[in-house]
Amino acid sequence: MPKKIKKNSALKPRKKPRHKNFRAGTQKIESFLLQSMQRVPAVSFSSASFGKFDFDPDIKGFNKKNSYLLAKAAKLAYADEDEVITQVRRWGFLEDPIVLDWDLTQGFIAHHRDYVLVSFRGTNSFFDWLRNFKFVQKKETWGRVHSGFKQAANAVWTIVQSKLEEWAGGKKGVWLTGHSLGAAIATITAARLLNMPSKTFNLGGVHTFGSPRVVDSKFANEFNTRFGDQSFRFVNNEDFVPCIPLKISYHHVDTGYLFDEDGRLRKLNKGTAFAPLKQFLNQTPKQIEAKAWMQLEQDNPYQTRYVQQGLFDIFSGIYDHNIDCYIDLLEP
């Protein structure tokens, strides 16, 4: 029987590995999304917009009113120091808050008779800064987290821990909230508090809005086991910050709640990290840009707010990330 002649595989043109194409595509889309997020409308403030703060710390499970109030607290973190102090006084807290302003991390710590509230936010340069870290993960508590999120949490960890020891101890409940980068910082801070010796702190709950994907699967699993029932992560319709980082090594923590395009709220299944990834991964940046222009030309629900906010070349995911949207949707 004649011998089979083996073909020289070296002469065959090699196909580019699919995972490299995938990575290149996600990087382009990720870059486009982060550039677009520079145009998120500025947060506007008025004393009337904050109203009363009748938060109920005895409710540990999901409560829409509590989430609504903590969304307001997340918004207040964007105000200047004088506005934060004035508003916290109006809300009836015991003393002036500690205003956090270190490097890329801002927020405040407020001391109430029955609990301590910590609210975080990031700077306006967050999205440029996020790109510069290239989504490298670093070791943190039970697993690994985005190195930039870890750095932002580190910037205020010492003062947060110190004031919580003074104001809360192991008695008063500690409540954390945050929007965008602030949501990532709140998640990491919660894990650190949970990982401290037993009864060091009484963590009441964490409510986050428009959080990016912060942690790896190991971290997420441990967090969900320990605290998933007291953690509430809200996503507004097409808000695409919950999509990033796009790498599959990044995950969300439970429990997720999604506002659909009609403003209806639904609870996501355990372990579900809702983000419209397929929608983005199947399009190029030019296609996404074209989609935004097309939406403007059509009579659709987003047209008015695009025009009002001056967002003529980007799509609704940018508007949906605004903290005011979350407040409006959660209002009882």
Sign for the pseudo-dihedral over CA of 211, 242, 227, 62: positive
Direct distance between the N- and C-terminal alpha carbons of the chain, in angstroms, rounded to an integer: 83
Q: C-alpha angle with apex 78: 75 to 80, nearest 5 degrees? A: 130
Let me know if residue 14 belongs to a domain.
no
Please tell me the least confidently modeled range out of 88-92, 96-100, 129-133, 194-198: 129-133
pLDDT tier at 296, thresholds 50, 70, 90: very low
Structure confidence at residue 50 (pLDDT): 78
pLDDT(328) > 70: yes
Alpha helix segments (H runs only) across 263-322: 277-281, 285-297, 303-309, 316-319
pLDDT tier at 130, thresholds 50, 70, 90: low
pLDDT(45) > 70: no
Let me know if residue 189 belongs to a domain.
yes
Summarize pLDDT for 151-165 with one digit per residue, the tens. Answer: 999 999 999 999 999
Element housing 99 (H / E):
strand 98-102
Let me know if residue 103 belongs to a domain.
yes
- Residue 43 near residue 327 (C-beta atoms within 8 A): no
Helix-helix angle 64-76:323-330, to 10 degrees: 160
pLDDT tier at 273, thresholds 50, 70, 90: very low
Q: How many domains does the chain have?
A: 1
Let me know if residue 307 belongs to a domain.
no
Let me know if residue 241 belongs to a domain.
yes
Q: What does the buried/exposed string (b/e) look like for 131-147 if buried means 16 or more CB atoms within 10 Å of the residue's CB?
A: beeebebeebbbbbbbb
Let me know if residue 212 belongs to a domain.
yes
What 3-state DSSP class applies to 143?
strand
Please report, for the domain that includes residue 224, its CATH number: 3.40.50.1820
pLDDT(18) > 60: no
Structure confidence at residue 200 (pLDDT): 81
- Residue 93 near residue 110 (C-beta atoms within 8 A): yes
Let me know if residue 1 belongs to a domain.
no
Q: Which two tokens stand for residue 108?
A: 């405040």
Q: Considering the entire predicted model, what is its pTM?
A: 0.80
Q: What percent of the chain has pLDDT over 70?
A: 67
Q: Which two tokens stand for residue 221?
A: 């699993």
Q: Which two tokens stand for residue 93?
A: 């807290």
Sign for the pseudo-dihedral over CA of 275, 281, 286, 287: negative
Q: Which domain holds residue 222?
A: 46-275+319-330
Let me know if residue 300 belongs to a domain.
no
pLDDT(308) > 50: no
